[in-house]
Amino acid sequence: MSDFLSDHGVVVALICALFAVAYGLLTSRSLLALSPGNEVMRGLAAAIQEGASAYRRRQYTTIAIVVYWRRR
């Protein structure tokens, strides 16, 4: 098995990556086809999206500050 992976590791990795991308596409397509739910569920989804966006913005700001100070 070790010899096989040494000789064909890149091919195995590419095949696994293609399966992962295909799975992600199928999963996201099926999720987007679902009903968005009632008004309460849509409100909760909007609040979660807003919170996730704020969290991501805070992370990127912190990373930018750390990178800036490390390069000085």
Model pTM?
Answer: 0.56
CA–CA dist 37, 27 (Å, integer): 18
What average pLDDT does range 6-28 have in this prediction?
95
Contact in structure between 16 and 22 (CB atoms under 8 Å)? no
38-69 pLDDT per residue, tens: 999 999 999 999 999 999 999 999 999 999 99
